[in-house]
Structure 1
Amino acid sequence: MFAIDHSYGQARLSLSNKNASAEAKAVYAYLQDMYGKKMLAGQMTSNWGFDELKYVLDSTGKLPAIRGLDFVDSAKNNNEVKFAKAWWKQGGIPTIMWHWGAPAIGSGYENSKKEIDIDKIFQQGTPEHTAFWKELKEKAQLLKKLKRAKVPVLWRPFHELNGNWFWWGKQGPDRFKRLWITMYNYYVHDQHLDNLIWVHCYMDKPDAAWYPGREYVDIAGPDTYQPGLSRKGMYEQTRAIVGDTMPIAFHECGIPPDPAKSFAEGSKWSWFMQWHTDHLKKVPAAHLKYVYDHDLVVTLDKVPNIKKAYRERRPNIFERVKIALDNLVTVLL
C-alpha cells in the first residue's frame, strides 16, 4: 500500500512520484479535496479551426476548469505547450494526451491506429526501437518546458488502452503495461519530469488486467461515447480496481454527465472532459448550460489559487509521530 500524506492537514494519497513538484502535489491535493464533493468541468480543445473555449463561454458564460491538449501533431506541439502554460497562469489545470503514431510508421491520429509488433520496441537495432525512443525523448523535451515554467500536467498517455484500436492496446494487457512502465520510469527517474500527474484511461469497460499498479498511476477512469452504456457501471468497475481514495475521472465523453444524477447514483467523477469540435457542437445548449451552472460542477471561476491554497507545509512533531505510526500500521498489515 502507498503511504498517506498528512502534510496538508488531513489524510491524502501521495503521488506515485515521491519527488513530485510542489505544483503537482498541490493540484493532486486539490483534486482529492474535491473528489466526492464536486466534479471539475473539462473541455478538450482542437488545433484546427474551431475555438471550443469561446463556444463554451458563449454558450454558458463560463469556462472549464480543465483544458485538454494533445501532442498529436508534431508541427503544433509547441503551441500545445504554450496553451498549457497560459491555462495554468489563467488559474486552470492543463491535461495533455498523446495520439502517438505507431513507432516506425509515422505520426498523427490515423497512424496511432496502425499495428506494429510491440516486442520489437524492446529489441535494440529495430526501426520500432529507434522510433519509440526518439519520440519519447522529443515529448520529454516538450514536457520539460512545462516543468521549467512550474506548470503541473495531468499526463494521460496511452489512452483508451483496452479499446483495441490504438497500437498500444492491440496486443493485450501485458505488452501495454510494459509500455506504460517503460515510459513512467524514463520520464520520472531518468528525465525527472516531476510536474506530471499520471492519468490512466480505460475505454467503456475498465479491466484490472490492464492496470500497471498504484506505483505507476495517480488517477484512473474510463472514456465512453456510448449514451446507452451505464456510466455508473464504468465508475464502479474503475473503483473496484483502484479503490476509494484515488480520484476517478470521466476522461472523454460525447455529452457531459448530469452532475446531480451522477452523484445521486454514486458516480462521483473527479472531472469530465467533453470532446472537441462536432462532439461539442452536438451537445444540447440547454444541457451544456445546466451542467456549467450546477452547484456540483467546478468551472474556471471557482478554481482557487491552487498553489497558494495547497502549498505543502512541514508537519509538526505530533503530526510526524502520527504519520510514522500510520506507516508502521500499513507495513504490519
Structure 2
Amino acid sequence: MKLLSILSLLFLANITWAQKSMPTDSKATTETINLYRNLMQLQHEKLMFGHQDDLAYGHTWVFEEGRSDVKEVCGDYPAVYGWELGHIELGDAYSLDSVYFDKIQNWIKEVYDRGGVNTISWHLRNPYTGGTAWDTSSKQAVKSILPGGEKHELFCTYLDRLATFLEELKTDDGTYIPVLFRPYHEHTGSWFWWGKNLCTPDEYKALWRFTVGYLQNEKNIHHLLYSYSTDRVKTVDEYLERYPGDDIVDILAFDLYDRGPDYPEALRTCAAIVTDLAKNRNKVATMSETGASLSENPEWWTKTLLEAVKPFDLSYVLVWRNPWKRADHGAFGPYKNSPDATDFVKFFNDPKTVFQKEVSKLNLYKSK
C-alpha cells in the first residue's frame, strides 16, 4: 500500500511539474504552450510513433488521399508526422523530395485537426556555394551567413521564405498550428554544410541563435518548439559541444540509424544521455530520426528498437520515409505485406506505443 501511495505521489508530481513548464519563447501561443506541457508529461508514460511524409506517399503510391503505409499495416495512422522543407528557401513550389509545399501545409492542418503532432526538418541548400545541403566543399558557409558575412542578406531571404510558409499554418479561425522545428540537425557529423568539420562550435551556436531570433523578433513567429538534434554521440560533452543554450531550445533530440551490430548499445547510450539532460534541464526528449534495413531484420521493431528505448522517457520516435522512387533508398517504415509487417503490429499493440487514435484522445493542444 505504501509503495502504491509513493508511486501515485510521483505520478501527480510529474503532472504538476509538466503543467508548470513553459517553452522558451515568451510569446508562444496558447496551443504551443499546451503542446509543450503535454509532451513533457506524456514522455514519462508513453512513446508516440512518428513517420516522415506518411500522408504524402508510400511504398508503391504517391499523393493518394487518405493513404498511409503505416495505417495499411496496423489500422491506424502515426501520432507524429515529419515534413521536409528543403527548397522552400529557393521559392520553389515543391520540396527536395518532390512534395508540393501547399500540400504539406494542408496535411499539417489535417494532422492538427485530428490531434496529431507535426515536426519539420529543413535540408536547406548551401547559401555559400549554391550546392545542396550535402555540399561540404567549403568551410565558409556558416561564417558567410552570420551577421556581417557576405551571404548574410541571401540567408535572410531564405528565412523570409521559411517564415512565409510557417505564417500560413493556421486553422480557419486563425489559430496558429504548433510545429516542432528541427533546424541544422545531425551537426555532430560532417555530411551537411553546417556539420562539425565545416564550422566552429561558436559559429554553429551563432547560426542557431540568429535563426531563432530572426523568426521570433523579425517575423513574429511564435508557434514553434525548437528541437536540437545531434547524430550519434558517446558522451554528454559531445552532445553539448555545440548546444546553443537552454533559453532557445525546447526539445533535446538525437538521430540514429541502424548501421550495424553496435546499434542497440549506441541507441541506449544516446537515449540515456538525452533523457538525463532533458530531465535536468526541464526539456522534452525525442528520438527524431531512425530507421533500419527491415528486410534484413524483420523483427527490428520489437526486438531492437522497442527493447532498447522502452526504459527511457522519450516523447516520440520517428522513422524516415518510404520513398516511392526505389532508387532513393528502401522503406524505413512498414508497408502492406512488408517483411516486418507482422512485427510492426506487435510494436503497435505494445502498451508503451501511441498512435493517432490514442493521441487524438489526449487533447495535446488543450490545457489539462
TM range (shorter): 0.7 to 0.9
Q: Deviations over 1:49-95 (max 9, x none)?
A: 75596211111111100110000133222322222112111221111
Aligned to 1:10: 16
- CA shift, 1:307, in A, is 5.4
- Counterpart-to-counterpart distance in 1, 2:110 and 2:243: 32
Residue 30 to residue 198, structure 1, CA distance change in 2 (3 Å): same
- CA shift, 1:105, in A, is 3.3
Aligned to 1:187: 215
**Letter in structure 2 aligned against 1:287:** D
- Give the percent of matched residue pairs that are identical in Structure 1 and Structure 2: 22
Residue 154 to residue 142, structure 1, CA distance change in 2 (3 Å): same
> Relative to total residues, which structure has the larger helix share, 1 or 2?
1
Residue 59 to residue 304, structure 1, CA distance change in 2 (3 Å): closer
| Between 191-200 and 286-295, the greater mean CA deviation after superposition | 286-295
Look up the SS of the partner of 1:180 in the other structure.
helix
Aligned to 1:216: 248
Pairwise mapping of residues 33-112 of structure 1 onto structure 2 (< 5 A)?
Answer: 33-45=41-53, 50=59, 54-74=68-88, 75-76=93-94, 77-106=101-130, 108-111=132-135
CA RMSD of aligned residues (A): 2.7
- CA shift, 1:286, in A, is 2.2
1:290 maps to 2:304: no
Aligned to 2:284: 247
**Letter in structure 2 aligned against 1:197:** L
Aligned to 2:5: none
Contact 2:87-2:124 within 8 A present in 1 as well: no
Any gaps of 5 or more consecutive residues in structure 1?
Answer: 1-7, 313-333
1:165 maps to 2:201: no
Q: Deviations over 1:86-121 (max 9, x none)?
A: 21112211111101111143375545x554512221
- Counterpart-to-counterpart distance in 1, 2:87 and 2:119: 16
TM-score normalised to structure 2 length? 0.74
Of the three residues 227, 231, 234, the one matched with 1:199 is: 227
**Letter in structure 1 aligned against 2:333:** L
1:237 maps to 2:250: no
Of the three residues 168, 178, 181, the one matched with 2:206 is: 178
Aligned to 1:146: 169
Aligned to 2:27: 19
**Letter in structure 2 aligned against 1:61:** G
Contact 1:26-1:307 within 8 A present in 2 as well: no
Residue 78 to residue 124, structure 1, CA distance change in 2 (3 Å): farther
Contact 1:23-1:152 within 8 A present in 2 as well: yes
- CA shift, 1:291, in A, is 1.6
- CA shift, 1:251, in A, is 0.5
- Counterpart-to-counterpart distance in 2, 1:258 and 1:11: 29
Pairwise mapping of residues 131-142 of structure 1 onto structure 2 (< 5 A)?
Answer: 131-142=154-165
TM-score normalised to structure 1 length? 0.82
- Counterpart-to-counterpart distance in 1, 2:344 and 2:364: 31
Contact 1:72-1:108 within 8 A present in 2 as well: no
- Counterpart-to-counterpart distance in 2, 1:163 and 1:270: 24
- CA shift, 1:189, in A, is 2.2
Any gaps of 5 or more consecutive residues in structure 2?
Answer: 1-13, 95-100, 293-300, 323-329
Residue 68 to residue 309, structure 1, CA distance change in 2 (3 Å): closer
4+ runs deviating over 6 angstroms: none
**Letter in structure 1 aligned against 2:290:** C
- Aligned residue pairs total 302
Contact 1:99-1:109 within 8 A present in 2 as well: yes
Look up the SS of the partner of 1:68 in the other structure.
strand
Q: Deviations over 1:293-322 (max 9, x none)?
A: 21111100001456587337xxxxxxxxxx
Contact 2:115-2:360 within 8 A present in 1 as well: yes
